[in-house]
Amino acid sequence: MTGDATAPMPNASAATALGVDDVTGPRAAPVLRHVSLSVPRGGSHVVLGPMHSGKSTLLRLILGLDRAVSGRVTIDGSTFDAARATEDQLRHMRRRVGVVFDSSALVSRLTLLENVMLPLAEHMTVGADQARETAAGLLHDVGVAGDLERTPDRLTRLDRRRAALARALVLEPAVLIVDEPGNGLDPHAAAELDETMQALHERYRCGILICTQEVRYAFHWPSVVSVLANGRIVEQGSLDELLNSRHEAVRRFVDRRGAA
């Protein structure tokens, strides 16, 4: 399977948690060209790419934070035009997506518990006690211990990532998008976070899209792998296909796997 501009549209059926179909953008200065990929329900997809290859831009286009020139995005069976999505469409779509940003992006003015409770408070008709209990339970599940009334600046980087993971999962999304999961973490902490992500992925059975520059995620997650270079997907397929690829950009990743 390849991510060519002329490749068939990804399957936007009910079995697809996330589908990206021929997306070019952002509108102001296109960085990505004709990107297509899909994440099956309960499955995973790893997008590999060096710094500034457009991984974060892809994430922003999927989430509607930047307008695309063209292309469509399907989330949990609902498709919208990435170039002309309305705020209502985006709002509806975003409720089905959980995102862990590379900076964690916890709201610094709120406590840890409030950060995780926020989506519940906004979108669910649950009582304060139940919301607090759910948030505390999730924080416990992701491995955040201690005082939950701390603000994010008092947490370690690993705990911030874990809390961001808890916040992303609190509404039980159809798809979880994780941007640079190992960003700023030492190898031990990154491995710990990866184990937590795998355990929660097993439990929630949501699709997961991992955007990373670290090739080890392609080995840890039995999934489809896309390699992004210069704004295009230059290789897309199984791990075996990736290992046998002769594309220069792919070889740079694969040949580094020993170090990873």
Binding footprint of another protein on the chain (CB under 8 A): 2, 4, 26, 28-31, 33, 51-57, 60, 63, 65-66, 91, 94-95, 97, 99, 101-103, 105-110, 114, 117-123, 125, 127-129, 131-132, 167, 229-232, 234-235, 245-247, 249-250
Rounded to a whole number of angstroms, the minimum distance from the CB of residue 25 to another protein is 10
Separation between Cα atoms, residue 55 and residue 64, nearest integer Å: 14
Complex with another protein: residue 223 or 226, whichever CB lies closer: 226
Complex with another protein: residue 193 or 228, whichever CB lies closer: 228
Separation between Cα atoms, residue 254 and residue 88, nearest integer Å: 42
Rounded to a whole number of angstroms, the minimum distance from the CB of residue 165 to another protein is 13
The position carrying tokens 């995620």 is: 217
Rounded to a whole number of angstroms, the minimum distance from the CB of residue 106 to another protein is 7
Complex with another protein: residue 91 or 140, whichever CB lies closer: 91
Complex with another protein: residue 52 or 84, whichever CB lies closer: 52
Task: List helix spans (H) across the chain.
Answer: 55-63, 87-94, 112-123, 128-141, 157-169, 187-204, 216-220, 239-244, 248-254
Rounded to a whole number of angstroms, the minimum distance from the CB of residue 118 to another protein is 6
Decide: 86 and 138 in contact? Cβ < 8 Å. Answer: no
Separation between Cα atoms, residue 152 and residue 195, nearest integer Å: 22
Q: How far is CA 225 from its chain centroid? A: 13
Q: Of 61, 62, 75, 73, which Cα lies nearest the Cα of 30? A: 61
Complex with another protein: residue 123 or 154, whichever CB lies closer: 123
Rounded to a whole number of angstroms, the minimum distance from the CB of residue 159 to another protein is 16
